[in-house]
């Protein structure tokens, strides 16, 4: 990374940095650069559609609500995070008027948003400080490298990984088919409401409309795009919070290459939480601006208020639990900002209270159509049940999750960074520490003798802890680099070289880890399952009913799949014994559908699959075929090929690459 320069011409240094970065990535991830260059040409429309989707809507809002000068790279980053609030809210407000989206209308909307972003023309002043451009281009190179290492591991995936990817794909397809929000989950499930946080699926559907990619690929691409955006967005949050752009760049390097999260989310398909954490940094920046304006300035609050309202409403439809983390940040930042005014500054206090109240109410009103929808499903009932749960409710903390959150030396770096910020008496150190504490208490209210464990889980907080760890660790790297350069290098050029070498070393080490982030154990749907689904589509009747491997999840509340059979309803249109897990949040027809499914599974699985009782139970519930795929997560599946082959009640009709299909006689 390049930190400062007195040179007017930055091109030689930037070209040198680019060449060295390319060399490091080539050594850390052989084949990555060749693959990336091919994809840019082959998938040009896909890349263009995604880039415009993630930039233009946010730029349009910033043009009118944040006209103050920003470095070009910060404006683009802000726009990228803000777009994740604008597009879902646009979809929300278009539904009551019956507006149904498609590819033509999506492109038309982007053209209008581009016009709002660029008109009336405004002269952009080039920064007079060369180091800002140096930092900007350095951050751009880091971001490009992060995106390359995120997309490269998923290049051969036919479908998203693990269980969450299935219902994300179903929801995305339903949005595409319905031109926006929907109520009925048919033909994939007999659910009659849709109340699941939807921002991720809205962005995936828009990418489909803009580029023509399939829904499964749109889910993977959108998820990895969020993974890539985590690096520049953490730069924005860190730079704004600490007042140091260099610290922000180091935070971007850390979350992009050294942090296990959020990159590991791809294995779980945990994309909705990541969607919330994509909006959270810009929501935090918007609220920081609002609070600072209310306390320290006499300027109008209108524009900061509108930005805070839009980002907060966008966060509300992105992920309910992450919204709680955002509230914890606002409380922490507000408390630290107001602390010096304790006992005085009555006017500032009043402006702060007024701004906070109007911001919260405004966000609620903007998201009101969605909040009205939510009460129609099961989410409110489930949340009420959690809030009324005894304080001893189970909220386990897996030690491996803690270890992954602080892997690659992030804990000592974060500790050094917090110490450095506190030693310099920067409010950012207190804000980060207080934010982490409040978030942990929100997940563990029993520590305060309160109910509500599970409303936000310790797991969700730990895998999202990079939001606070990366800024602190970035400050730690910055502090250590300052010490080294102060004692070892006298010239600025030598200091620049040290930062560059350290950055390349971290990127090279981290890139090797990031391109190997995929864990095959989480791939339920394999190419063999996709091939078998094509066979089913050709050889089994459209009304065929298939029994696939399953297990009781969330205490038996829903049943989940253990292999690619879970995807058969989506891939073939045939009915199976499983539903998308997100249906557990919805109202169904019949209302006791989940209980019926649980009773069916219990009635069948109480007998070995090779027994006459199991075959009779399967027939009595209308199942005609059995399907066993090559994956098994968790292992110990109910459908045992050896038992089924030995039993006279089943006829093998397909076996290839680990997939077996039997007809129930």
Q: By residue range, what is the domain housing residue 218?
A: 11-121+129-519
* Same domain for 240 and 193: yes
Is position 135 within any domain?
yes
pLDDT for res 542: 95
588: DSSP letter: B
What is d(CA 414, CA 234) in angstroms, rounded to the nearest whole number?
Answer: 14
Q: Which token pair is 341?
A: 């005014």
* Same domain for 551 and 513: no
**How many structural domains does the chain have?**
2
Q: Residue 344 pLDDT more than 80?
A: no
* Same domain for 403 and 289: yes
pLDDT digits (tens, 9 = 90+) for 365-403: 999 999 888 888 777 777 766 666 554 445 556 667 777
Q: Which token pair is 197?
A: 């946080």
Is position 659 within any domain?
yes
152: DSSP letter: G
82-86 average pLDDT score: 96
The lowest-confidence range among 328-332, 440-444, 496-500 is 496-500
Q: Which token pair is 76?
A: 């683009």
pLDDT digits (tens, 9 = 90+) for 532-573: 999 999 999 999 999 999 999 887 889 999 999 999 999 999
pLDDT digits (tens, 9 = 90+) for 227-278: 999 999 999 999 999 999 999 999 999 999 999 999 999 999 999 999 999 9
pLDDT for res 391: 45
Cα 77 to its chain centre, rounded Å, is 16
Q: Which token pair is 334?
A: 């507000």
More confident residue, 394 or 26: 26
What mean pLDDT, rounded, does the chain reach? 90
Q: Residue 39 pLDDT more than 90?
A: no
Q: What are phi and psi of 134, to 5 degrees?
A: -60, -45
447: DSSP letter: G
Q: Which token pair is 318?
A: 């992105």
pLDDT for res 10: 56
| Band of residue 6 on the pLDDT scale cut at 50, 70, 90 | very low
CA torsion through residues 167, 173, 176, 181, sign: negative
* Same domain for 554 and 473: no
Is position 2 within any domain?
no
Q: Residue 587 pLDDT more than 70?
A: yes
What is d(CA 305, CA 217) in angstroms, rounded to the nearest whole number?
Answer: 37
* Same domain for 308 and 186: yes
Q: What is the pTM of this model?
A: 0.93
More confident residue, 407 or 170: 170
* Same domain for 308 and 167: yes
Element (H, E) at 600: helix 593-605
* Same domain for 640 and 503: no
CA angle 493, 495, 497 (to 5 degrees): 70
pLDDT digits (tens, 9 = 90+) for 451-470: 777 788 888 999 999 999 99
Is position 5 within any domain?
no
What is d(CA 304, CA 285) in angstroms, rounded to the nearest whole number?
Answer: 10
pLDDT digits (tens, 9 = 90+) for 502-539: 888 999 999 999 999 999 999 999 999 999 999 999 99
596-599, long-range: CB within 8 Å, 24+ apart, which pairs?
597/558, 597/559, 598/552, 598/556, 598/559
* Same domain for 502 and 537: no
Element (H, E) at 303: helix 302-316
Is position 1 within any domain?
no
* Same domain for 531 and 514: no
| Domain closes at, from 484, 519, 554 | 519
pLDDT for res 211: 94
Residue 223 · residue 215 · CB < 8 Å: no
| Band of residue 36 on the pLDDT scale cut at 50, 70, 90 | confident
Is position 68 within any domain?
yes
Q: What are phi and psi of 526, to 5 degrees?
A: -105, 170
| Domain closes at, from 464, 497, 519 | 519
**SS3 call for 598:** helix
| Band of residue 130 on the pLDDT scale cut at 50, 70, 90 | low
Q: Which token pair is 460?
A: 């969700």
Close Cβ partners of 245 (under 8 Å, ≥ 6 residues apart) = 132, 135, 235, 239
Find the length of the chain: 665
Residue 292 · residue 299 · CB < 8 Å: no
Is position 642 within any domain?
yes
Residue 561's DSSP bridge partners are 550
The lowest-confidence range among 6-10, 47-51, 56-60 is 6-10
| Domain closes at, from 462, 491, 519 | 519
* Same domain for 509 and 593: no
**228: closest CA among 160, 173, 154, 158?**
154
Is position 4 within any domain?
no
* Same domain for 114 and 23: yes
Kindly provide the b/e burial profile for residues 397-435, where b requires at least 16 CB atoms within 10 angstroms of the residue's own CB: eeeebeebbbebebbebbebbbebbeeeebbbbbbbbbb
pLDDT for res 380: 75
Q: Residue 122 pLDDT more than 80?
A: no
* Same domain for 56 and 142: yes
């Amino acid at each position: 990374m390049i930190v400062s320069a007195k040179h007017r011409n930055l091109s030689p240094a930037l070209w040198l940095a680019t060449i060295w970065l390319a060399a490091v990535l080539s050594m850390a991830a052989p084949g990555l650069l060749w693959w990336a260059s091919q994809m840019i040409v082959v998938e040009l429309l896909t890349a263009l559609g995604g880039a415009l989707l993630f930039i233009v809507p946010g730029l349009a809002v910033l043009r009118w609500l944040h006209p103050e000068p920003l470095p070009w790279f910060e404006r683009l980053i802000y726009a990228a995070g803000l777009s994740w609030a604008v597009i879902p809210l646009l979809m929300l407000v278009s539904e009551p008027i019956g507006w149904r989206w498609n590819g033509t209308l999506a492109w038309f909307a982007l053209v209008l948003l581009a016009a709002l972003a660029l008109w009336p023309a405004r002269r952009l002043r080039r920064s007079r400080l060369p180091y800002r451009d140096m930092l900007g281009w350095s951050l751009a190179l880091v971001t490009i490298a992060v995106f390359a290492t995120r997309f490269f591991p998923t290049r051969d995936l036919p479908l998203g990984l693990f269980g969450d990817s299935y219902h994300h794909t179903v929801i995305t397809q339903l949005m595409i088919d319905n031109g926006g929000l929907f109520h009925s989950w048919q033909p994939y499930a007999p659910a009659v409401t849709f109340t699941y946080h939807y921002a991720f699926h809205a962005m995936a559907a828009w990418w489909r409309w803009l580029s023509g990619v399939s829904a499964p690929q749109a889910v993977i691409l959108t998820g990895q795009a969020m993974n890539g955006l985590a690096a520049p967005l953490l730069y924005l949050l860190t730079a704004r919070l600490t007042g140091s752009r260099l610290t922000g760049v180091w935070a971007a390097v850390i979350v992009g290459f050294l942090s296990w999260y959020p990159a590991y989310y791809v294995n779980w398909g945990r994309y909705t939480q990541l969607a919330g954490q994509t909006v959270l940094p810009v929501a935090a920046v918007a609220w920081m601006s609002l609070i600072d304006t209310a306390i320290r300035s006499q300027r109008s609050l209108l524009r900061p208020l509108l930005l805070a309202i839009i980002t907060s409403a966008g966060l509300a439809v992105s992920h309910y639990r992450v919204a709680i983390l955002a509230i914890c940040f606002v409380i922490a930042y507000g408390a630290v900002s107001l602390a010096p005014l304790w006992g005085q500054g009555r006017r500032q206090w009043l402006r702060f209270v007024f701004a906070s109240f109007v911001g919260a109410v405004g966000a609620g009103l903007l998201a009101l159509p969605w909040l009205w929808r939510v009460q129609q499903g099961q989410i409110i009932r489930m949340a009420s049940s959690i809030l009324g749960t005894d304080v001893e409710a189970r909220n386990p903390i897996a030690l491996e999750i803690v270890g992954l959150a602080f892997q690659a030396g992030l804990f000592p770096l974060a500790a050094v960074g917090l110490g450095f910020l506190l030693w310099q008496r920067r409010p950012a150190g207190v804000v980060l520490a207080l934010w982490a504490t409040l978030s942990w208490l929100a997940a563990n209210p029993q520590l305060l003798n309160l109910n509500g464990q599970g409303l936000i889980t310790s797991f969700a907080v730990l895998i999202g802890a990079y939001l606070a760890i990366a800024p602190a660790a970035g400050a730690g790297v910055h502090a250590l680099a300052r010490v080294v350069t102060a004692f070892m290098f006298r010239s600025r050029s030598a200091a620049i070289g040290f930062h560059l070498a350290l950055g390349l070393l971290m990127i090279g080490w981290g890139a090797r880890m990031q391109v190997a982030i995929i864990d095959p154990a989480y791939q339920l749907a394999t190419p063999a399952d996709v091939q078998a689904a094509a066979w089913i589509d050709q050889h089994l009747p459209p009304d065929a009913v298939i029994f696939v491997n399953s297990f009781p999840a969330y205490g038996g509340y829903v049943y989940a799949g253990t292999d690619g059979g879970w995807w058969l309803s989506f891939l073939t249109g045939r009915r199976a014994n499983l539903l998308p897990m997100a249906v557990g949040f919805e109202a169904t027809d019949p209302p006791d559908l989940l209980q019926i499914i649980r009773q069916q599974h219990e009635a069948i699985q109480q007998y070995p699959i090779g027994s006459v009782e199991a075959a009779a139970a399967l027939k009595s519930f209308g199942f005609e075929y059995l399907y066993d795929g090559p994956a098994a997560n968790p292992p110990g599946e109910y459908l045992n090929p050896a038992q089924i082959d030995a039993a006279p009640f089943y006829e093998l009709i397909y076996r290839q690459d680990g997939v077996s299909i039997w007809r129930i006689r």
